[in-house]
Amino acid sequence: MNTKIVSLNEDTIRFLVDGVNAAFANSLRRTMVAEVPIMTVEDIFYFDNSSIVPDEVLAHRIGFVPLTTDLDNYVLPEECDCEAELGCPKCRAGLTMDIEAKDDTVTVYSGDLVPEDPSIAPVSKRIPLAKLAPGQAIKFEAYAQLGQGKVHAKWSPVSMCVYQNVAFVDVEDEAATKECLDACGDDVAVIEGGVLKVIDIQGFERCRRCRELVRHEEIIGGLKKDEFLFTVESTGGLPPERIVKEAVKMLKQKLSTLKGKIEADDLHDEIRDFDLPEINEGKLYSVGSGDFDEDEGGNEEPQGDDVA
Amino acid sequence: MIVPVRCFSCGKVIGDKWEDFNKRVEAGENPGEVLDSLGVTRYCCRRMLLGHVEIIDEVLKFHEQRESPDLRGGIR
Ligand SMILES: [Zn+2]
Ligand SMILES: [Zn+2]
């Protein structure tokens, strides 16, 4: 397996991976989306909220504000040894807000969140959270925790994480293609030993001259099945290259756990331990305070004391 | 009522770009060009800003005017 970084800036990394199949590429992608943890606010205690944005709506908005994450000094709450409901200094970071509008209307921004630990702070300070009319106030204490995207989307470190195949195409007019490529840049396509390697197909086809030199069908016909271009866009919680590194680390960890279990023949116990959920009288769920009598065909009667 | 913090489809933070976007579009700039310059490239994120109507300022007026002599009678 070989990797090569095509481009990297503060929020996006694009890199090539070759010598792996689509299943591996997808498991890497899914690890980045759903497993790599970042910090976001999970619990909020309001002391005052007289704004027109209700408590739960404001809490939801604050949860979606990405926070810069220090993965080295914090652990996931479920892996922490404190077992406290609100966590300990190892598994949570506090943020507070205390803002009141006096004479003018005030917009409350994510930058008004005051972090307890400066390394866990809002990525962007300009996200409007609420607006306060004169006399209104917001005061709360918030607790941020590490979490994973599979639990809630606010904990996903990426806003885009995709991969696509790279294509190899034979070119007829090498000189003309080369001239066009010089203008488009070598992160779109390169010529390697007389063969055109299209790295970013959409980027390549955005150029009209490139599009005329190489037909779309030729590119689709020349897709290489074991080489991928990954594009990872971070929400800002972690640098994009760190997300990829963490994903690889986590995937390795998971695979070695699985390997250890297979070698120790430890799989059967876990399957035996798996219990089916208790099914209550043939119904998978019950509604509200009482069960409904489904035999009546639409005439739903609550089963109280009088219905025996 | 107030700008969403994230794009509904992909999760990119777009809330912090609204005020800039709104100000520049009201000043007469082309919305598409403003979005390009703000780095909002995907159409899921673009529609978040293009289609947004900020209502909170209208609702806020009821609270801002509460103590004013003009409306006091109405509230009582
Ligand atoms: Zn803890
Ligand atoms: Zn989007």
* Cα–ligand 1 centroid distance for A87 (angstroms): 4
A201 and A131 in a common domain: no
**Interchain CB contact of A116 with B (< 8 Å):** no
Ligand 2 center to A38 CA (angstroms): 20
Q: What CA–CA distance (Å, rounded) separates A110 from A154? A: 15
pLDDT above 50 for A258? yes
CATH number of domain containing A221: 3.30.1360
> 3-state class of A61 per DSSP?
helix
Place of tokens 């009088």: A306
Query: Residue B41: what are its φ and ψ, rounded to 5°?
Result: -100, -35
The residue among A138, A155, A172 that closes a domain is: A155
Judge contact between A90 and A120, C-beta under 8 A.
no
Domain-ending residue, one of A132, A155, A178: A155
Backbone angles phi, psi at A245, to 5 degrees: -60, -45
Residues shown for chain A: 308
Which of A234, A260, A292 is the last residue in one of the domains? A234
pLDDT digits (tens, 9 = 90+) for A264-307: 877 666 555 566 666 666 655 555 555 555 555 555 455 555 54
pLDDT digit string (tens) for A205-222?
888 888 888 888 989 999
Residue A273 confidence (pLDDT): 57
Task: Please tell me the total count of domains within chain B.
Answer: 1
Residue B5 lies in a domain: no
User: Which range has the worst mean pLDDT, A61-70, A168-177, A217-226, A243-252?
Assistant: A168-177
- Residue A172's pLDDT band, with cuts at 50, 70 and 90, is confident
Cβ neighbors of A39 (< 8 A, separation 6 or more) are A67, A68, A69, A70, A74, A93, A120, A144, A145, A146, A147, A237
Please judge whether B3 and A128 are an interchain contact, meaning their C-beta atoms are less than 8 angstroms apart.
yes
Res B26 pLDDT > 50: yes
In percent, how much of chain A has pLDDT > 70?
86
Tell me, what's the pLDDT at A292?
54
Rounded distance between C-alpha atoms, residue B49 and residue A242, angstroms: 30
Would you call B42 an interface residue with chain A, using a CB distance cutoff of 8 Å? yes
Contact B15 A130 (CB under 8 A): no
CB atoms within 10 A of CB A297: 7
Burial letters for A179-188: b for 16+ Cβ neighbours within 10 Å, e otherwise?
ebbeebeeeb
Q: Tell me if A305 is assigned to some domain.
A: no
**Average pLDDT over every residue of A105-123:** 95
Give the pTM.
0.82
| Residue B9 belongs to a domain | no
Instruction: Kindly state whether residues A30 and A169 are assigned to the same domain.
Output: yes
ipTM of this predicted structure: 0.87
The answer to whether B1 faces chain A, any CB pair under 8 Å, is yes
**Phi and psi, residue A207, nearest 5°:** -90, 125
A283 DSSP β-pair partners:
A280
pLDDT of residue A175: 80
Smallest Cα distance from B46 to chain A, Å:
14
* Test mutation, A106, A112, A126, chain B, max B CBs within 10 A: A126
Assess if residue A134 is contained within a domain: yes
User: How confident is the prediction for chain A on average, in pLDDT?
Assistant: 87
Alpha carbons within 13 angstroms on the beta-carbon side of residue B24 total: 17
Q: Tell me the C-alpha to C-alpha distance, in Å, between residue A68 and each of A32, A234, A264, A287, B46.
A: 17, 11, 40, 42, 25
Contact A213, A176 (CB under 8 A): yes
Would A280 be classed as within a structural domain?
A: no
Please state the rounded mean pLDDT for residues A136-160. 95
Same-domain check for residues A137 and A44: yes
Q: How far is the CA of B42 from the centre of ligand 2 (A)?
A: 6
| Residue B75: pLDDT band with limits 50, 70, 90 | very low
Residue A283 lies in a domain: no
pLDDT score of B76 more than 50: no
pLDDT at A307: 47
Cα within 13 Å of Cα(B49), Cβ side: 28
pLDDT in tens, B27-53: 999 999 999 999 999 999 999 999 999
Looking at the fold, whether A142 and A61 belong to one and the same domain comes out as: yes
Is B1 in Cβ contact with A131 (below 8 Å)?
Answer: no
pLDDT of A111 > 90? The answer is: yes
Query: What pLDDT, on the 0 to 100 scale, is given for residue B71?
Result: 46
Which of the 8 DSSP states describes residue A196?
E
List the one residue out of B6, B33, B43, B37 whose CA is nearest residue A128. Answer: B6
CA of A108 to the centre of ligand 1 (A): 30
Q: Which domain holds residue A137?
A: 38-155
Mean pLDDT on B6-19 = 96
Contacts of B13 in chain A (CB under 8 A): 64-66, 123-124, 127, 159, 235-236
A52 part of contact set with chain B, CB < 8 Å: yes
* A123 contacts B13 by C-beta, under 8 angstroms: yes
Please report the pLDDT score of residue A130 as a whole number.
96
Average pLDDT estimate for A83-107:
91
In a domain, B52, yes or no: yes
Task: With H, G, I as helix, E, B as strand and everything else as coil, classify residue A234.
Answer: strand
Distances (CA, A) of B9 to A37, A65, A66, A305, B71: 20, 16, 16, 48, 42
Is position B3 within any domain? Answer: no
Mean pLDDT of B9-30: 96
- pLDDT tens, A10-53? 999 999 999 999 999 999 999 999 999 999 999 999 999 999 99
B60 to A66: CB separation less than 8 angstroms, yes or no: no
Do A172 and A71 sit in the same domain of this protein? no
Residues of B in contact with A64 (CB under 8 A): 5-6, 13
Q: How many domains would you assign to chain A?
A: 2
Query: Sign of torsion, CA A76 A82 A83 A87?
Result: negative
Domain that holds residue B40: 15-75
- Decide if B34 touches A, using CB distance below 8 A: no
pLDDT (0 to 100) of residue A77: 92
Instruction: Please tell me the distance from the alpha carbon of residue A117 to that of residue A192, in angstroms, as a whole number.
Output: 50
Mean pLDDT (chain B, rounded)? 88
